[in-house]
Structure 1
Amino acid sequence: MSQDASAGPLAGLDVVDMTQMLAGPFATMLLADLGANVVKVEPPQGDMTRSNPPHLKDDEAYGGYFQSVNRNKRSLVLNLKDDTDREAFEGLVAEADVLVENYRTGTMERLGLPYEDLSEDNPGLVYASIRGFGDPRTSESPYAERPAFDLIAQAMGGIMSITGTPESGPVKVGPGIGDIFPAVLSVVGILSAIQHRERTGEGQYVDVSMVDGILSLTERIVHQYSYTDEVPEPQGNTHPLLFPFDRFEAEDGYVVIAAPNAKQWHALCEHMDCPDLAERYPTEDEQRAHADELRAVVNEWTSSYTKGELFELLADDVPCAPVQTVADIFESPHFDARDMLETVNHAETGEEVTIAGTPIKFTECDTGVRHRAPLLGEHTEEILRERDLLGETERKNI
């Protein structure tokens, strides 16, 4: 684990993190991984995901879900319905560069902490929200008040409509991309707003809708429908415009092969010892028109090799990869070399556990996992003392 937060490219950036669940915490995790000082402001009961499994022991402070996306942060407990705590929060935000929250529309207003008031005290504040249908400040969605989760975003943003098979019907994508991709877009927006502030001195509101984010990720269906008037449907691992671009069987699992251009297709046919196929179907249009027939030929050939053998045989000149389980990933020399499996200490037992690492690398800056996720309120007194916000009154949550 990297130990020097000051080496990160975002060192010196102060972020107030009012997020919970996955979308918001993933966004602030990225900022923290890049060196920002992220203070996670939690209510007295904590982020609701602290209790989410998996757990190493029944009564631990938090499980793997919380550990993974809240590393590199400090926890500050404030009850924002309490006047003293709300005053401390306002003092915290007055000195911050960025505030991120993913509450439902109107929640911060009901707490008496709207963007307009916070930005009046801190004109340079970059305030970012991630909501299911966006915030009315940038555009009025008829669904702005409605709650949303990953599944809602995947359904309404279009990605479920093309995921699955004709037999299965729509299927959601496994990981929570309805949270994670909007989170990444939010970080892009935050850093863009910071660049704008560098030029102008102005802070601003950054608004990302989860549903909008998934539509942008699924952009292909938009131009397909516009150009052809056809509604794309689930078609499994095949591609509507390319072949081969598919999953194939191996002796011990599956591989994917993507060889749609002439050079790659000819190379695949050579490996299969079937040069006649390249001669009979030399163009991409002909490959696509005879995809069902050719798929059976390729599948028969791949099924006589292991996925590791196919990867070694093909990957230098034919884009190919094994379909890896997480057990395979733990054994992968690539992810080991790229520091993508990071170990942190379990908060209570000290036992080492593994979480996904940081995919953004730099030549001159350090990034990565520096420390485990915080215990609830672990840094409350430390943070308030740093900012001279303790006041005269003894705080009940310290």
Structure 2
Amino acid sequence: MLEGLRIVEYATYVAAPGAGGVMADWGADVIKVEPPGGDPIRMFFSSLGVEEASNPVFDMDNRGKRGIILDTTQEVGREALLKLIDGADVFLTNVRPGGLQRAGLDHETILKRCPRLIYAILTGYGLEGAEADRPGMDSAAFWARSGLAAMFRPKGGDPVQLRTAFGDHVASLAIVGAILAALYERQSTGIGRLVEASLLRVAHYVGGSDLAIQHTRGRIASNRARADVPNPLINYFKTQDDHWISLLQRQGEKDWPKLTRALGLEHLVDDPRFANNRARRENGAELVGLMDTAFSARPLADVAAALDAEEMVWAPILTPAEAIADPQARAAGCIVQTPTHDGGSMPAPAAPVRFPGADDGPKGPSPRLGEHTRAILGELGYSEGEIDALYASGAAA
């Protein structure tokens, strides 16, 4: 879908490279510009004290890209980057605004030079305000500062850690959508624009349902224990064979009779303690106890059949190992084979959207450090001697 689109990615870690990775899957020519030493996420495992021959965290977000090393602190390295940008449709970065300003790579300067360019920047806290230049990663800007960590914190308990790059990848999707909207606009105007997303703003959208309540009502429900949730039918239950399930209730009262039939609790359907949503909330602990007993008396297979027969909304809580082996996940295209440098392939999470009938999967492995530097510089018109001089100076590698 994006064949012929050229993206220069001047970014590190996950959120912005994740956006480049999605668009590379969809056919864009994404040139990843790395500093000498490489993108720090290449050291993900070694920073944890674990030595690994491969790095699936880096590979997932950088598959199918071409890689070049430029030292943009040197004028000749910066000039090479500007030549790359001159021929690009999109410039994608997550360098902090102050650093871009000091290097002459800020959006005002670049868009004046390249008025058709889509200049896409992903920041922690936005481009305005006193803290616009604050460093921000997803567990800080997305998770903690936005209120999400407090929402997920068990009542009376400690905050919980955000899983690896969780907020980053949500932001990746936001910036992909914004870039494509700007490209559509450019078809009509012939002019590019600045596109800006921040981890903080993305998080406010992700937590938007709760935050909308906070805006209008001044408070939201806390993240409570199972016996004390606002709606006991939206909850977790364990089966006889130690499988947890997530149960949901749709709006209204239609699901309550269905659930009582599924659990063999028909005698409770008109019980005044549980006859409507308000009564079930007021007597939630008692109802959860009764449902715990009913669920724990039957294995998952029986529970699944009974809930499905009533068309209840539920799902098993799978471990990561079970999730990647889930036949439905595979049928939904959640897993793709990513080419490796040895000519083989490895399984990895897919980009989040499928285009049936199109080649919408990984186009190649992630680039080795500086793998395509010479080739890309050659495409820009540098002679072999000039390329050798860039290597000798350390401006390219």
TM beyond 0.5: yes
Residue 360 of structure 1 deviates from its aligned partner by 0.4
Residue 344 of structure 1 deviates from its aligned partner by 3.1
Q: Please tell me the root mean square deviation across aligned C-alpha atoms, in Å.
A: 2.4
User: Residues of 2 paired with 1:80 and 1:220: CA distance?
Assistant: 42
Change (3 A) 1:341 1:321: same
User: Which residue, 384, 389, 396 being the options, matches 2:377?
Assistant: 384
Q: Which amino acid aligns with 1:233?
A: S
User: Residues of 1 paired with 2:110 and 2:140: CA distance?
Assistant: 30
Change (3 A) 1:102 1:309: farther
Contact 1:42 1:75 in 2 (8 A): yes
Task: Give runs of aligned pairs for residues 1-398 of structure 1, distance below 5 A.
Answer: 9-53=1-45, 58=51, 60=53, 63-135=55-127, 140-153=128-141, 154-235=143-224, 242-250=231-239, 251-260=241-250, 261-280=252-271, 281-315=274-308, 317-347=311-341, 352-390=345-383, 392-393=385-386, 394=388, 395-396=390-391, 397=396
Residue 178 of structure 1 deviates from its aligned partner by 2.7
Change (3 A) 1:152 1:59: closer
Residue 161 of structure 1 deviates from its aligned partner by 1.1
Contact 1:44 1:77 in 2 (8 A): yes
Q: Which amino acid aligns with 1:151?
A: S
Change (3 A) 1:59 1:232: closer
Q: Secondary structure at the match of 1:365?
A: coil
Change (3 A) 1:331 1:127: same
Output the TM-score relative to the length of structure 2: 0.88
Q: Secondary structure at the match of 2:270?
A: helix
Output the TM-score relative to the length of structure 1: 0.88
User: Residues of 2 paired with 1:28 and 1:289: CA distance?
Assistant: 49
User: Residues of 1 paired with 2:190 and 2:32: CA distance?
Assistant: 26
Residue 159 of structure 1 deviates from its aligned partner by 0.7
Residue matched to 1:6: none
Contact 1:161 1:232 in 2 (8 A): no
User: Residues of 2 paired with 1:237 and 1:375: CA distance?
Assistant: 48
Greater mean alpha carbon deviation, residues 324-333 or residues 334-343: 334-343
Structure 2: segments with no counterpart, 5+ residues: none
Q: Which amino acid aligns with 2:314?
A: C
Q: Which amino acid aligns with 1:63?
A: N
User: Residues of 2 paired with 1:370 and 1:256: CA distance?
Assistant: 36
Residue 221 of structure 1 deviates from its aligned partner by 2.7
Contact 2:107 2:119 in 1 (8 A): yes
Contact 1:40 1:75 in 2 (8 A): yes
Greater mean alpha carbon deviation, residues 385-394 or residues 145-154: 385-394
Residue matched to 1:3: none
CA deviations 1:225-269 (Å, max 9, x no partner) are 233332543325689654411111122331100024422222111
User: Residues of 2 paired with 1:99 and 1:309: CA distance?
Assistant: 54
Relative to total residues, which structure has the larger helix share, 1 or 2? 2
Structure 1: segments with no counterpart, 5+ residues: 1-8
Contact 1:238 1:245 in 2 (8 A): no
Residue 351 of structure 1 deviates from its aligned partner by 6.5
Change (3 A) 1:359 1:380: same
Contact 1:178 1:211 in 2 (8 A): no
Change (3 A) 1:275 1:204: same
Q: Secondary structure at the match of 1:206?
A: strand
Aligned length: 383
CA deviations 1:75-101 (Å, max 9, x no partner) are 111111222222221111011111111
Q: Secondary structure at the match of 1:100?
A: strand
Change (3 A) 1:180 1:77: same
Change (3 A) 1:53 1:350: farther
User: Residues of 2 paired with 1:85 and 1:325: CA distance?
Assistant: 46
Contact 1:341 1:357 in 2 (8 A): yes
User: Residues of 1 paired with 2:281 and 2:192: CA distance?
Assistant: 51
